[in-house]
Chain A
């Protein structure tokens, strides 16, 4: 059933939204790590690109700089949304049903400009605490009534109650917190100086169903090991020769463990087909890597050879 809600007072309409022009510059920040955002205001942002930012551990600050809002005066008066004497509030809003949360940031105040031709500069900030963001949601610029002032006789139909929502200025922006981005199950732990540099750990119960994630298996790197710094080049996300060897050995171990697992149809994996495994599962990941890397699973020796060729080629592409 289509329904037509009608605001009890004038709100932002398409004409006003198009006339009140502004060009927001939106940036994302966090104390510990750059959130690694990519995207465009008014469309969509994804997070985590080349970044350590973790929504469970890190807050997300959304900063919106607006050099100048043009034609602010149109919002006031009988043809606008608020009395000429009113104070409007402009704030960033985060709304996400996945997170079960809607929140407004600190608002900026907008008043009827004395000279309507002068753009009104504004800076807005919205801080979303760590471990509160889930799934996806939307960011938008919301206009609300701060104070109605003293409405004139020609402004009787306009909103008077503080907090009344006039709607969204511009378009909303989709923000992706949890998506379909892959994560390799790598963890950094401290086993001790005399312990191995890396370990293969597995705790899966059904690799055809269990997700390819650190819950069920991992490449555990020992940060206490003297050679740990040799795994990465400082400041550059590039695979060092030692890291390539670790990756190759881990992948060979992973595939051999799967081969030994009762109930796993390894022949199908060796052909690069997951054979009925759940999407995103351990078996699905194994089959995917076998296919992408053109890995030869006919023997342990051929497997380690083909893995090394793939890993080396991948590392060379990064240089």
Chain B
């Protein structure tokens, strides 16, 4: 069933990522995948890193381990990491493979502890390959202790088991009974211990707290951590004499594992940590050595990413000030665009949304007195020769783990092809796919899977370390998402970007004139065709013929006097017997500003008022009270049983405020008064 230890230790496919980053990603992702169902309000992950004596751990094992090797390798003890989750279902399921029957789920215990190299099939899982957990064995000597409490048939059960995966050909290997380099310790035949009293004693010896009350979850304890889980300064710098890492001090989080873990967790899970607005599942509560991580204490770039995530769904984005608000970034300064692909989905074209924002060093608190490290250092550390003039674009699936922070120079990359203007700040972006979007039959057929969503496809495109999306052979879904996201970032980054210097416009125009019809470009030689009128015509401004249902007002003459305007008007009654209003407002580019709006917005005294008004039609009944007025409105009443199609002529005088600056224009418009509004 199992491969050998050396093969498993090589299987992770990622030699470039810092081991503590790999560990943070894998452990937290496993916890999120095991979140209690139905989902609670939060999943907590507490990371503790502390020293331990060698004999404390060695004494856990009665036999089967070469204690002499342990004492030789760790004469003064070692360090252990305990990653403990809560609000998760724990290591559930059968405790031995023999208990698995057809159709019953294998459960978390077998999958995590005993099937170290087996891949997973759960679509909602953050992981996919099952090989990621091999990173647990790579950060120490290969020993991992699993402790879990689960709810089984309304009773709590505890489980504890240890597993070792080591290079079976290593001279310093810890166990020699197995030729594979893989072994388990627990009860009989390596199954987990379930006796709570025995478990309590073992936990006490390594200072791990038992789960109590209603709590369920899993604690993973990895003793004898290697000393090289984060790079030292000299490793971080390259051979280049001008390497920036040689000039700049190491970031503070490189001083110890706990500090590094704090930043690593932010780097990969910032959209979910302490975020009650997270949409893909329960919020993630994280602590390192007892110190709870809060959004406002995260590095600025990670707070920015969380804000971008929350703003992707404006309906879900609740009120409350986020980091971008505090920076003075307005809603219109944030890119939020759909990434559309044709012929991929059953319905619609949107593969997800790309969002981005430009920020200055000041907005990222890089200036005194805060002196926060720049985003590139927070993400890539000092060990990478970083392209600092490229956008930083993260992409993730529904569980909210950043798959990758991309700043590549690939012209079809996530950040597009444009460089950031020199010294003009930073651009941070995020792509989140539309997870439930179903792929069309053609794509499913190619995948030989009839139950594929975009989320499932992207998950299947991840390698064991979940650090990249790579399309299946013959498909271009990821590459098209990437290049279209990059295009959107380009347009946002440089909205008026010049065409490439080398373009030979005259030649380009003349060849196109000979070989192509219009429509293959946006050159100004041919006027654009309005989208709704393919014939290029313009819609008539006025309807002709037939009686209008609604009233219309025409100004037939204007006489200007000092501070006043005398207006002759004609009211086309339209249909119906409702009173007609003629309303006075102020003209503006965005429409009429009414008296009520003017007053409500505190614009001061309304600049116009109706002073006099009269109906001039000789046929109108002069004696009756047909016209009512106040300083803002004329009210014309119907005076015969059928007013349909009638015209009413009249005059009015508008008085202009003495302090009028000359550029405000009064505006008249008419409306039928609703029955309910008629004055009594």
Contact = CB atoms under 8 A, between A and B. Distances in A.
Interface of A: 1-10, 33, 36, 38, 44, 46-57, 131, 134-136, 156-161, 163-165, 174, 176-189, 203, 205-206, 208-209, 211-214, 220-221, 232, 237, 247, 262-263, 276, 278-280, 284-285, 288-289, 292-293, 314, 317-318
B314 interface: no
B319 interface: no
Contact of B480 (A10, A206, A247, A284): A206
Nearest first, the 10 closest Cβ-Cβ pairs linking A and B are A181-B523, A157-B560, A183-B521, A181-B525, A161-B662, A182-B512, A156-B562, A184-B511, A182-B520, A5-B587
A179 B523 contact: yes
Given A8-B666, A206-B342, A176 B506 contact: no
29 contacts: A3-B585, A3-B668, A4-B553, A8-B665, A48-B509, A52-B504, A52-B505, A54-B499, A54-B503, A57-B499, A136-B528, A156-B561, A164-B663, A178-B522, A179-B528, A182-B521, A182-B526, A183-B512, A184-B512, A184-B520, A186-B503, A203-B412, A205-B479, A206-B480, A209-B341, A209-B480, A280-B521, A292-B516, A292-B517
B476 interface: yes
Contacts of B520: 182-184, 211-213, 280, 284-285, 288
B518 A182 contact: yes
A134 to B, nearest CB: 7
Contacts of A174: 527
Given A51-B505, A186-B503, A263-B476, 18 more contacts: A2-B553, A8-B565, A47-B524, A50-B510, A52-B506, A54-B499, A136-B527, A161-B661, A180-B521, A180-B528, A185-B508, A187-B504, A203-B411, A209-B341, A212-B521, A214-B499, A284-B520, A318-B514
A119 B525 CA distance: 35
A280 B519 contact: yes
B316 interface: no
Contacts of A214: 499-500, 503
B659 to A, nearest CB: 11
Interface string B457-495: 000000000000000001010011011100000000000
B298 interface: no
A263 B442 CA distance: 10
Given A48-B505, A157-B560, A180 B476 contact: no
Interface residues on B, range: 35 or more
A76 to B, nearest CB: 15
A180 B502 contact: no
A7 B521 contact: no
B524 A176 contact: yes
Given A1-B669, A8-B662, A214-B503, A279 B508 contact: no
Nearest to B495: A134
A214 B565 CA distance: 58
B476 A205 contact: yes
Contacts of B585: 3
Interface string B565-584: 10101000000000000000
A130 B181 CA distance: 70
B558 interface: yes
Interface of B: 341-343, 411-412, 474, 476, 479-480, 482-484, 496-500, 502-529, 552-555, 558-562, 565, 567, 569, 585, 587, 592, 654, 656, 660-669, 671
B515 A314 contact: yes
A71 to B, nearest CB: 21
Contacts of A177: 524
Nearest to A49: B525
A36 B654 CA distance: 50
A181 B526 contact: yes
A162 B654 CA distance: 23
Nearest to B490: A215
A53 B525 CA distance: 11
Nearest to B481: A205
Contact of B503 (A131, A136, A187): A187
A48 B511 contact: no
A159 B510 CA distance: 51
